[in-house]
Structure 1
């Protein structure tokens, strides 16, 4: 009888111990769950100004007349003036290409003779500059009046707009992501400080898209590169 009572006591003791351990594990799990459920979502920002490293400049010019041979001679003369102008500004033949002339017969539209323009033909040609010398292109654009003085009839239209690009994003990308991530962590640390917590590990991170825009409408050869990252940080007590 005494042995049976002793066995019951031991069994009860083990049961009580198991209940205590179980309760402790459950309490710890709940605490950990609550800890992992607490996080803050922040954004980090990085911006950098960079010079364009590729420039496109289509130079369109025209002439008009009634003799196609003379028109071609005028186009050749204008093209030579453009080539010399570009060479003067440090833009060589290897960076320049010329398109075939576009000829329009203005008498082919069925208008009566009295309403026909004096010049039957108009001709247009385009010389395109493609170069990494973005600053040289910008300076040449500012001096384009020299072409007008040389008798070149320039055409300005939306079809022939200069364009400046930045192609070195891959080189600056890692540094900018690091800056944006640090900016996000600083924001998280400020939030944690205000709430009496501390910043833990990253719960989730999302790198935003990089954008490349002109610094302003007057300096397209200078670009602004921006990126915004979204990061969730765990908060710890």
Structure 2
């Protein structure tokens, strides 16, 4: 039987352990050095596009008024006449019947009293509306002024401002993202030239949200027909020698 000296075993174990620890140190140091040697540049790329609204929403309201509930039947009849006049003008101006949606007629009552709370006057109003939803956005602006001819005939019309919407964002997204990415690489190249390096592949990319604003406005996207669409991408590029 072979007898192994205990001190020798301990010494051998220490040597092996030291070797493993040393190897681990060099492996770890190599990984660390490879990480700190990676140079990158984070840049932003902007893309902007001028578009036109492709959908318009326009509400027209009309009102008839009387002073007594006994006038209600006559008021309803007059309201129907006014509605037909407005619809006829819209159809004659080029809108389709499918683009028009007459709404319900609402009733409101106002009472005017003196300082002693005695009823001085009573006003009953019937308020109707017609919603116009159309892709003929330019025609809306044109026809709005034509309603003045009905006002001149005595119709009480509320010509509300239309809302213009751009609904084809998905169609322009790929092109705009590509442009923003290209502009980001241009910015990275300018940085690289000054730093004496070259731009490599993309390490990371983040796309910001698309923003739609009326032309000339800081807020809002329904007032004007013309819109500005913009998107910003943030891209990190590798830099090489």
TM norm structure 2: 0.77
Q: Distance in 2 between matches of 1:45 and 1:185?
A: 11
| 1:128 matched to 2:131 | yes
- Following superposition of structure 1 onto structure 2, how do residues 58-207 of structure 1 map, counting pairs within 5 Å? 58-65=59-66, 66=68, 67-107=71-111, 112-117=117-122, 120-155=123-158, 160-207=160-207
Alpha carbons of 1:224 and 1:78: their partners in 2 closer, same or farther (altered >3 Å)?
same
Equivalent of 1:34 in 36, 39, 50? 36
> Structure 2 unaligned runs (5+)?
1-26
Structure with the larger strand share: 2
Q: Distance in 1 between matches of 2:29 and 2:240?
A: 17
Kindly state the Cα deviation for residue 149 of structure 1 after the two structures are TM-superposed: 2.1
Alpha carbons of 1:94 and 1:109: their partners in 2 closer, same or farther (altered >3 Å)?
farther
Alpha carbons of 1:172 and 1:129: their partners in 2 closer, same or farther (altered >3 Å)?
same
TM norm structure 1: 0.78
Q: Deviations over 1:111-144 (max 9, x none)?
A: 9444333xx3111111000111111112112433
Alpha carbons of 1:178 and 1:142: their partners in 2 closer, same or farther (altered >3 Å)?
farther
Alpha carbons of 1:68 and 1:108: their partners in 2 closer, same or farther (altered >3 Å)?
farther
Conserved in 1, the CA contact under 8 Å of 2:163 and 2:223? no
Alpha carbons of 1:196 and 1:28: their partners in 2 closer, same or farther (altered >3 Å)?
farther
SS in 1 for 2:231: strand
Q: Deviations over 1:68-120 (max 9, x none)?
A: 11111221121112112211221121100111111112249999444333xx3
